[in-house]
Amino acid sequence: MMVTKGELMFELKERSTTTIVKDVGSKDAKIEVSSRGEITGRYNATHVETVDIHLKPDGTMDWEGRGIDITREGDMVLLSGKGTGRQESPISSRFEGEVSCKTASKRLDWLNSTKFWIEGTQDISTGKVMAKIFAKE
């Protein structure tokens, strides 16, 4: 999928806290990964999320996630997203996709009408995730 990325808005650094194997088929698996970390950029916040991942036999994956950011000022931002990924080595994967936000914060209400594009990597051995989030044009 060709995406025109706009301005870099946020950077996300987090670590997986739990992984649950939801289903194992003859050739694929479904897992749920919960993570905790921080997001920095246009706002700074603690970040928690849960991502459902469908692992396929060719090393690709589809994901769908939900998250909550709580800013240092006390604003809450609800996030949802979905996308794709690929296993790049036995210990690393790369992912990308669309993210949208909802907030009741007057200060951050611009988030409600902005679509975002996320690109990141995960070190499976440590659970560390690093991602960049861009405004989507």
Mean pLDDT across 118-126: 94
| pLDDT of amino acid 5 | 82
Domains, the chain, with CATH or none: 5-136 (2.40.160.20)
What Å distances lie between residue 6 and 10, 44, 104, CA to CA? Answer: 12, 20, 24
User: CB count, 10 Å around CB of 101?
Assistant: 20
Is the pLDDT assigned to residue 2 strictly greater than 80? Answer: no
Taking the model in full, what pTM does it have?
0.92
Q: What are the backbone dihedrals phi and psi of residue 110, each rounded to the nearest 5 degrees, phi first?
A: -60, -20
Closest CA to 96 of 36, 45, 136: 136
Mean pLDDT across 14-21: 95
Residue 137's pLDDT band, with cuts at 50, 70 and 90, is confident
Residue 85's pLDDT band, with cuts at 50, 70 and 90, is very high
